[in-house]
Amino acid sequence: MIPSYIKTRFGLLVLLLLTGKSLLGQQKNEFQKDFDFLYQELQKTPSYADQITGEKKTAYQNLYAKLKAQPVAPTALDTFYNLSKLLWPIKDKHLAFYQNYNRDIDFKTLQTPGFIRDYRTSPTFKSFPRVKLNLDSLESSLAKKATGSVEGIYVIGDVAKIGIYRTLRKDSLVGVLLSSKLQTWDRGQLFSILIQTSPNSFRTVYCDLATKAFRYVENDKLTNGQFHHYDLKKLNIVSYANFRSNDAYIFNTLEPNIQYLHLGSFNGSPENLKIAKAFYNRIKDTLTAPNLIVDLRGNIGGAAKCANQFFALLKNYSEKGKVFVLINGMVISMGERFALRLKPIKNIKLFGETTNGMIAYGNNDGYSPVLPSGRFKLYPTNMPDEAGLLQYEEVGVEPHVFLNNKSDWIKQLKVIIRRTTVN
C-alpha cells in the first residue's frame, strides 16, 4: 500500500474516464489475477531475461510472494502502486504501466459545460485524493524555495500549476495541484508521488492531466529545473534546454559559416519515412558551411531505417566540416542511439545535457495487454538489447560539453564555434 507518510485522504478512488469497475466490488482474487498476469507478462520481456538472473531472480520471486500476500489495497491508487512494484527491479524505461482510460476523451470534451457539471458533482470527483494542508501557506513556502531545489512550484505549459514538497521522509515527495485551466481538477488534488532514488532521479507515479489516470515512471530526471517525462518545469524558469517545433525537420543558414539542421524524430511510419526521405534529398548536397549545428533536442526516437540516412550524411560531412550536436533530456530511444553513434567520430561533439536513458529495449508490434480487471494496462517491451546498451539504460548519453541554463543554447554554441575558429 501507499506508505502512511504519503497518504492524505484516500477514500474510494474511482478515477475520471477509467474503464475499470467500481472498487466497491473489488475482491482479493481480482487483485491476485491482475498481479499474476503482470508477473507473467513481465517475465516474457527481454529486459527481465537480461537482468533478473541468479540471486536477483530469487529476490524477485521473494518480492512477488511478499507483495501477493499483502492485504488487498483499499483504493485504485494503492492497488496501482502495489502492482508497479513488480517493475521496480527491472531497468527498462520503454516498459509502461498505467491505468486504463477512455481514449475517446480529449481536451475539447474536458471543456464541455455539461461534461464538467456532471463530473464535478459526481462521487468520483469528490472522492479524488487530496492533501490535507493549508494550500495558501504551502504555495507561499514553495515560492521561496531555491531555484536548484526539487521542492517548488512547477508549471505544465500555461494549463496547470503544481506544488512539489517533501514529506516526513526526505526521499519522498508529493505533487499537488495548485491551479488548472481544466475544471475537471480542483485545487489540492493529488498530482504525483515521487520517490527520490538519487540526487536528480525519481521513481514516480504521475496523474495524467487530461484523463486523471495514474502512470508509473521508472526513472524520471530533473535537470535545469525541468522533469523530463512530464515536461514539468519550474515556475519563472526559462528552459533553454528545450526546443519545440511543429516541423520534425528544419534546415537553414544561421551565419555564412554556420548551418543548422534540426532532426526532431526518426519516426518509422510510412508517411514519415516519405517526409524524412524528401527532406534528406533536399538538403544532402547543401551542407557547405564549415560548421554545422545538429539539433536533436526533443528527438522522440523511431526507426533505424529513418535515422541511418542522416547518420551517413553527418559522418560524411564530418570529414570536411565540424559538427556540433545539441542533446537534452527529452532525447529518447533511437534519438539516443543516434547521438551515441555520433559521439566517437572525429570532428563531431555533443553539447547540452544528458539524454533520457530510454535506450536499450523497445516495442515493435504495439502489443499492450489490459490486466484481467480491465483497470490497468501494460506496454511491455519485446525488442532485445542487441546493441549492448544496458549500461546507458536509466543513465543516458552524456555530452562532451555541458551547457548551462543561463542563455539560449544556439547562442552558446555560436560563441563556442567562434572561439574554435579563432583557435
Read off the pLDDT of residues 213-235 as tens digits, 9 standing for 90 and up. 999 999 999 988 899 887 799 99
Q: Are residues 255 and 227 in the same domain?
A: no
Mean pLDDT over each residue of the chain, to the nearest integer: 89
Is residue 356 within 8 A of residue 410, CB to CB? The reply is no
Residue 17 placed within a domain: no
Residues 275-307 pLDDT 10s: 999 999 999 999 999 999 999 999 999 999 999
Looking up residue 305, the CATH number of its domain turns out to be 3.90.226.10
Regarding predicted confidence, which is higher, 20 or 69? 69
Residue 369 placed within a domain: no
- Of 234, 268, 288, the position where a domain reaches its end is 234
Q: Are residues 227 and 267 in the same domain?
A: no
pLDDT of residue 395: 95
- Of 234, 263, 284, the position where a domain reaches its end is 234
For 329, phi and psi rounded to 5 degrees? -70, -10
Q: Are residues 201 and 262 in the same domain?
A: no
pLDDT of residue 422: 56
Q: Are residues 77 and 196 in the same domain?
A: yes
Q: Are residues 61 and 198 in the same domain?
A: yes
Q: Are residues 60 and 128 in the same domain?
A: yes
Q: Are residues 61 and 38 in the same domain?
A: yes
Residue 12 placed within a domain: no
Q: Are residues 302 and 340 in the same domain?
A: yes
Q: Are residues 157 and 274 in the same domain?
A: no
User: Does the predicted model carry a pTM greater than 0.85?
Assistant: yes
Q: How confident is the model at residue 5 (pLDDT cuts 50, 70, 90)?
A: very low
Residue 374 placed within a domain: no
Is residue 292 within 8 A of residue 317, CB to CB? The reply is yes
- Of 234, 257, 280, the position where a domain reaches its end is 234
Instruction: Taking residues 68-84, report their average pLDDT.
Output: 83
* Domain extent at residue 411: 249-352+393-422
Instruction: Taking residues 183-199, report their average pLDDT.
Output: 94
pLDDT of residue 73: 67
Q: Are residues 222 and 262 in the same domain?
A: no
